[in-house]
Structure 1
Amino acid sequence: METSAVIARVLVAARRLGLPADDPEVLKDGYNLLVRLRPAPVVARVATVTALARADVLGHFRRADDLSRFLAGRGVPVVEPHGPGPVRHDGLVVAFARHVGHDPDRRPDRASFAAMLAELHAELRHYPGPLPERGPLTDVDAALALVGRPAELVAARDALVARWPDAPVQPLHGDAHPRNVLVTPRGPVWNDFEDAWRGPVGWDVACADGVYGEPIPYPAADLAHWRELRALFGECWTRVRDLYRTRTRSRP
């Protein structure tokens, strides 16, 4: 579906919630579409590429919504949901959140981010809700099925599963890198808990290392394994994105 058609459907969903969304602004068109619903101080997150690989993409959005509300209730600075929660509308899965003014060109430095991540992990340990146990591996398996199970990626997946670390697990952000921290005048704010799962903290650390290009100062075991899985995860999602774009371009 073309972006303009997606936005048109999102505006209908927004108006049903009473939002005056007459001047939409695309903030990001990546694996999900983010639309600021001006003049309302609200952002719509629409599942696009993610909906192709995730049969339960609504479940992902609902977990993100629940985690964000939980953390906000504990005083953790997060982007807070707006309205009753994610919805299905006209074939789309949409979540609404409060718009947070921030500088998109600023990110925390490595040391600051490591301290923030440690604090977030401490708060997440209190989260009582259910979370997936396989996390990124579920996405990898779904992506491999979509793109025809390339032999080299299947082999990499199987090798990683065969030496899966026996490590303590806890609730994770799931996509914990500095691009998911918004730098605001009042300080940094966590965003995007869509990939949350219950696993070793090494996964979150590896997510951050991949952006900084070098390890963040955060103690975690078996980072080599999680870095390899993160690289495979990224390659699988890139192929799903390319497939999505091909399908979208081929439709009238």
Structure 2
Amino acid sequence: MREVGRLARRLGLPGDDPEVLKDGYNLLVRLRPAPVVARVATVTAVVRADVFERFRRADELSRFLAGRGVPVVEPHGPGPVRHAGLVVAFARHVEHDPDRRPDRASFTAMLAELHGELRHYPGELPERGPLTDLDAALSLLGRPADLVAARDALAARWPEGPAQALHGDSHARNVLVTASGPVWNDFEDAWHGPVGWDVACAHGLFDEPIDYPAADVPFWLELRALYGVCWTRVRDLYRTRTLPRP
């Protein structure tokens, strides 16, 4: 927190009353009284050697979508920065109700509209984002035999078919419900792949699967489940200081 405050002052942001909004895989700090949120790479910086590039792509993709009229949380400032060994990105703070989520039908329509806009994105994105993260996480975990076998079995069944730019972490918690409507957030996990991955990301927060035309959703649900197990174990090691911190 101290370094975030120092960085804010260096960039001319008033951060005299910082508020931790979330401490998950990244640390989110509102730089009160400024309407700005700092995203500090924590667990993600341990797993992702390219975390700065991930933040930069998320910034670029958000600006692209905002330019097309898509409601997104917009970046603040010129882009992510490195400071005191940390990678930090800034976004405007969006007032929202953290207890509200879109209903299943609304979310499905939003995801379809988002995918339609993402098909126009001209930038380069990773081709196998989840597998890259899995391999890094498994290495940090000491490559447990059962998880490695599950990873290899899924990689051998990787579906062929249409691919496009994806949100990458498109669950309902990454939609902020504001007074003027829902707003997409957090494009750090964006990659180029089948839409089934984004559909699988959405499944966990609804009682029933969303009705979306995507091929081989069961495969992506399996991959998403393994992905979640590995990330959770890495996060737990990080919090017990078993893993080095950035």
Q: 2:31 aligns with which of 20, 24, 37?
A: 37
CA distance in 2, matches of 1:250, 1:241: 11
Measured in 2, the distance between the counterparts of 1:213 and 1:233 equals 21
* Residue of structure 2 in register with 1:87 after alignment: 81
Greater shift, 168-177 or 11-20, is seen at: 11-20
Aligned to 1:230: 224
- Rate the CA distance shift 1:96–1:186 in 2: closer, same or farther, 3 A: same
How far apart are the structure 2 equivalents of 1:249 and 1:223? 33
TM-superposed CA distance for 1:87, in Å, is 0.4
Q: Which amino acid aligns with 1:201?
A: V
Q: Which residue of 2 is the match for residue 56 of structure 1?
A: 50
CA deviations on 1:86-130 (whole Å, 9 max, x unpaired) are: 000001000000000000000000000000000000000000001
Q: For the residues of structure 2 that align with 1:113 and 1:26, how far apart are their CA atoms?
A: 27
Matched, 1:196 2:190: yes
Secondary structure at the aligned position of 2:97 is classed as coil
Give 1:137's aligned amino acid: L
- Root-mean-square deviation (CA, aligned residues, Å) is 1.3
Partner of 1:164: 158
Higher helix share: 1
- Equivalent residue for 1:247, pick from 234, 241, 245: 241
Against the structure 1 CA distance between its residues 250 and 65, is the aligned structure 2 distance closer, same or farther, given a 3 Å change threshold?
A: closer
Alpha-carbon distance in structure 2 between the residues aligned to 1:221 and 1:250: 39
Does residue 13 in structure 1 map to residue 7 in structure 2?
yes
Deviations 1:33-67 (A, max 9, x none): 00000000000000001111100100110010000
**Equivalent residue, structure 2, for 1:119:** 113
Aligned amino acid, residue 135 of structure 1 = G
Kept after mapping to 1: 8 A contact 2:46/2:244: no
User: How far off its partner does 1:167 sit?
Assistant: 1.5
CA distance in 1, matches of 2:168, 2:177: 20
Q: Which residue of 2 aligns with 1:138?
A: 132
Rounded Cα–Cα distance in structure 1 between residues aligned with 2:161 and 2:218: 14
Q: Percent identity, aligned pairs only?
A: 82
2:64 to 61, 64, 70: 70
1:187-207 deviation digits (Å, cap 9, x = unpaired): 000000000000000000000
Query: Which segments of 5 or more consecutive residues in structure 2 lack a partner in the other structure?
Result: none
SS for the counterpart of 2:192 is strand
Could you list the structure 1 runs, at least 4 aligned residues long, displaced by more than 4 angstroms after superposition. Answer: 248-251
CA deviation map 1:130-178 (0-9, x unaligned) = 1000111100000000000001100000000111111210000000000
Distance 1:138 1:213, change over 3 A: farther
Structure 1: tracts of 5 or more residues without a match: 1-6
Q: Secondary structure at the match of 1:225?
A: helix
SS for the counterpart of 2:94 is: coil
